[in-house]
Structure 1
Amino acid sequence: MATEYLRYDKMVENALRGVVREALCQAAERGLPGSHHFYLTFRTNDPGVQIPDYLRGQYPSEMTIVLQYQFYGLEVEDDKFGVTLSFNNAHERLIIPFAAITTFADPSVTFALQFQPLSSQEGPTSMEEIEEEVTEEAERQAAKAGGAKQADDGKMGQVVALDSFRKK
C-alpha cells in the first residue's frame, strides 16, 4: 500500500496565488499606487485563457503582460481575472485564470512569485478541491485507526472458508 501524504506544495502554491488575486483586487478597486506595476506571465494554451487568436499565434505557449499605466476594466473573480489592454493601438480583452499564471512580479518593490502551472499538475487545483482532499484523507486515516482498534479489541470477526469443514 502506497503511503499518502498531504500535498503542502499544492496548498502553498494555491495560497500564493491568493496573493496575486488580492494584489489585483486592490488594483481594481483603487488603482496602482505610486510606482507599483505588475508583470504577469501566463500560459496562453491553458484551459480558460481567452485572448485574441493573433496574440495566441504570436505567443503560442507563454505571454507576459504589464499592468501599469494603460489598462482598463480590471475585474477579478475567484478563479480568474479579466483586463483590457492595448495592442498596436487596438483594445483587446484578456481573460486569464489564476491557474495559468506562471510568474507575478512587482518590480517597484522587488517582489516576485513563480508558480508551477496548476492545470498541468495532478490533483486538486482550487482551494476547495484541496480542502476536500485533506478532509477525505483525514476520514481515511480515522477509518484505518478505527479498524485497527477494532481488530486489537478482538471484536472483528474472522472469515473462515467453509470448504475446510466439508468432507471430500
Structure 2
Amino acid sequence: MTDGIDYGNLMHRAMRGLIQQVLTDVAAEGLPGEHHFFITFDTGHPDVEIADWLSDRYPGEMTVVMQHWFDDLAVTDDGFAVTLNFGDAPERLYIPYDAIKTFVDPSVEFGLRFETQDDDGDDEDETPGRPVPKPVADPAEPGAVRGDAEVVSLDKFRK
C-alpha cells in the first residue's frame, strides 16, 4: 500500500502511450500533411540500440528527425525501431520510450519533455533516474527546439 497517488508515473505512462499511438499510426499510414518529429533521446540508456559511430559522436543525447525519409518503423510497447538516413548511410535505431527526453511535432506546435528525477531521498517509492514528464519546454533551455514551433502547456487547452 502506498501513501499517495504517483501522478508522475501515471503521467509518464500516459504520455508514453500517446507517443506509442502516434508512432503506431505513422507506421500504418505514414506521416500526414506537414507533420514531422524531432525526438531527443539519451544515447547512454542501456536499452538504446544505435551504431557505435553514432554513440561515439553523441555520447549523451541525440536528436533525430522523422520527416521525409525513414523506413521500417516498428512500434512495440517498450519503444520503437526505425531506419534513418545519416548522410546517405541508412542506420537502424531502437529507442525505448524511457530514453526519450523530448518529442516535438513543430508542424502543430506540440511537444513533450521528460526530465530525469534526481534521487533526493524524500520518497522511498520513487525510482532514481526515472523520467518525469513535463508537458512544457522552456525555449531558452539549451537543446530546446527553436524556430517557428512553440511548445505549449496542456493547461492552455483546459476549460
Give the TM-score of the pair, scaled to structure 2: 0.71
Q: Does 1:85 align with 2:57?
A: no
Task: Please tell me the residue identity of whatever aligns with 1:70.
Answer: W
Q: Which amino acid aligns with 2:13?
A: N
Letter in 1 for 2:9: K
Residue aligning to 1:145: none
Match of 2:101 in 1: 102
Distance 2:115 2:27 in 1: 25
Q: For each residue in 1:131-160, what CA deviation from the matched residue of structure 2 results, as whole angstroms up to 9, or x when unmatched?
A: xxxxxxxxxxxxxxxxxxxxxxxxxxxxxx
Contact 1:44–1:63 (CA<8 Å) still a contact in 2? yes
Q: For residue 117 of structure 1, report the CA deviation from its aligned partner.
A: 4.5
Say what the alpha-carbon RMSD is for the aligned residues. 1.9
Match of 1:151 in 2: none
| Gaps in structure 1 of 5+ consecutive residues | 126-168
Q: How many residues end up aligned between the 2 structures?
A: 121
5+ residue gaps, structure 2, are 120-125, 131-159
Q: Secondary structure at the match of 1:34?
A: coil
- Asked whether the 8 Å contact 1:42–1:103 carries over to 2, the reply is yes
**Corresponding residue for residue 13 of structure 1:** 12
Tell me the CA shift for residue 14 of structure 1.
1.3
Q: Which amino acid aligns with 1:114?
A: R
> Which residue does 2:36 correspond to in 1?
37
**Larger strand proportion of the pair:** 2
User: What residue identity is the alignment partner of 1:95?
Assistant: Y
Q: 2:111 is matched with which residue? A: 112
After TM superposition, the structure 1 = structure 2 runs for residues 12-161 of structure 1, keeping only pairs within 5 Å, are 12-117=11-116, 122=127
Identity %: 46
1:68-119 CA-to-partner distances (Å, cap 9, x unmatched) read: 010000000000100001112111000000010010000000000011358x
Question: Stretches of 4+ moved more than 6 A in 1?
Answer: none
Deviation at 1:64, TM superposition (A): 0.4
**Can you list the C-alpha shifts for 1:5-47, whole angstroms capped at 9, x where unaligned?**
2211111111111111111011000000000001101000001
Q: What secondary structure is seen at the aligned counterpart in 2 of 1:93?
A: strand
Larger radius of gyration: 1
Measure, in 1, the Cα distance between the counterparts of 2:34 and 2:65: 13
Secondary structure in 2 matching 1:116: strand
Structure 1 or 2: larger helix share? Answer: 1
Letter in structure 2 aligned against 1:122: T
8 Å contact from structure 1 (residues 72, 85) kept in 2? yes
Secondary structure of 2:44 counterpart:
coil
Q: In structure 1, how many angstroms separate the alpha carbons of the residues matched to 2:61 and 2:37?
A: 16
